[in-house]
Amino acid sequence: MTLAPADGATGQNIEYILHGQEVMEGAPRYNTWLVDSVRAAWEGAERVLDVGCSIGTVTRVVADRLAETGSRDAQVTGVEIIAAAVEVFAERFRDRCDVRALRGDIMDPSPELLAAGPFDAAVSFNVLEHIEDDVEALRRIGDMLRPGGRLGLLVPGGGNLLYGRFDALGRHFRRYTPPRLRARLEAAGYESISIRRLNMVGAAAWFVKGRLLRAERTTAGEIATFDRLVPVFRRLDAILGPPIGQSLAAVAHLPTEGGPVSVR
């Protein structure tokens, strides 16, 4: 399936991505579910990097959850390649001192971003699939972490079975399976890797809309309806496993001595 045209400066379909981020503002229960799915990565951290923070929808949840769990001095620093998203982020959080966003590319970190590290933990939600060389991206994230640092990663699941129109419009190079994601993390030098499937109902909806109906947008009303049912969906996932998920949630650690191992 052919990817949508890309912005020359960022390699992204900016209008489509920003629309999706704005729609997801109406899903607070779902966003909290995503953050909690990688809790083992961010819990107890004081300095957290959010890679691909966009307008800060999930960054806010990470910061709020850190405060709720006792890390009241924690700072969450986002890095985002799309300038318009960083502008929205800055306006939304102008009165908060525990979150900030830096314009930049994790593949070529700015001096300002490098100076902000090293971080105790990094999180990244639905970003890795947008990067063609995902192993190198994982290495670059690892470069920003202290030895033994943790990574919490949320990526599209379902592999080729779920790859459809939504993915092409969002310029997703791939969807992941647990073995595919584990291989990337190991190649980038991470260890103690835990991967689980997330959101079985979402996987079914994604297949119907993206593969069968070839829909191009998800509406705010659809997201709001889904969000109201998230407690039920979380319970179903806990009971059933699940056998397939719209997303994969991964938590991994760097070795305690040194950063990711470069595998060329």
What does the DSSP assignment read for 127-143? -GGG-SSHHHHHHHHHH
CATH topology (fold) of 14-253: Rossmann fold (3.40.50)
220: left (phi over 0), alpha (psi -120 to 50) or beta: alpha
Q: Are 149 and 196 in contact (CB under 8 A)?
A: no
Residue by residue, pLDDT tens for the chain (264 residues) are 899 999 999 999 999 999 999 999 999 999 999 999 999 999 999 999 999 999 999 999 999 999 998 777 899 999 999 999 999 999 999 999 999 999 999 999 999 999 999 999 999 999 999 999 999 999 999 999 999 999 999 999 999 999 999 999 999 999 999 999 999 999 999 999 999 999 999 999 999 988 888 888 888 999 999 999 999 999 999 999 999 999 999 999 999 975 444 432
Question: Amino acid letter at 165?
Answer: R
The DSSP 8-state label assigned to residue 105 in this structure reads B
Separation CA 253–CA 159 (nearest Å) = 24
Peptide bond into 260 cis (omega under 30): no
